[in-house]
Amino acid sequence: MRAAAPQLAARKGSVVNVSSVNGLRSFPGVLAYASAKSALDQLTRCAALELAPLGVRVNAVNPGVTVTNLHRRSGMDEAQYAAFLERSKTTHPLGRPGQPADVAEMILFLASDRAGWMTGETIPIDGGRHLTCAR
């Protein structure tokens, strides 16, 4: 962001970081990931303050479980991944894991002029997962 600041300022651009519900809530077994996402959320807020005088907005999205290759790449085989997605139907109040388009729509909104009065926000896009206790 610091390196891009002059170009962002010239265009009155915006930054949208991709964080996670793990940045907002504590869950067992993901200590390093959750710590990194929490740090990204704080970076988003601090950068929003630093870049606001330049007319640059900085926000973040915090997705819940989203159907991507992230979990497969973490070592889950297909059966484990299928079970994980099935369980996500009970851990997310809206009853399903997210789709990439769910997250992409929020990113597009935050990057657009329609969100021109928003900066420093970390927006859960997680089917309500951030509202629940870890389980």
Is residue 83 in some structural domain?
no
Whether the CB-CB separation of 125 and 103 falls below 8 Å is answered with yes
Does any domain span residue 11? yes
pLDDT of residue 74: 81
Sheet holding 14-18, edge to edge: 14-18, 57-63, 122-125
User: Do the Cβ atoms of 61 and 103 come closer than 8 Å?
Assistant: yes
Q: Residue 18 maps to which CATH number? A: 3.40.50.720
Q: Is 69 inside a domain boundary? A: no
Location of structure tokens 């002059």: 6
Amino acid identity of residue 91, one-letter, is T
Cβ atoms of 57 and 15 closer than 8 Å:
yes
Question: Which entry of 5, 13, 33, 40 is annotated as an active-site residue?
Answer: 33
Give the pLDDT score at 36: 97
Picking from 7-11, 72-76, 111-115, 120-124, which range would have the lowest pLDDT averaged per residue? 72-76
- φ/ψ of residue 124, rounded to 5: -65, 130
* Any domain includes 27: yes
pTM of the full structure: 0.92
Domain count, the chain: 1
For 10-109, list the strands marked E by DSSP.
Answer: 14-18, 57-63
| pLDDT, tens only, 47-84 | 999 999 999 999 999 999 999 988 788 888 999 999 99
d(C-alpha 79, C-alpha 13), whole Å: 42
Please give the pLDDT value at position 134: 64
Average pLDDT value over all residues in the chain: 94
Q: What is the mean pLDDT of residues 9-24?
A: 96
* Helix, strand, coil % in the chain, rounded to nearest 5: 50, 15, 35
**15 in a domain, yes or no?**
yes
In a domain, residue 58? The reply is yes
Look at residue 59 and tell me if it is in a domain: yes
Catalytic annotation present for 33: yes
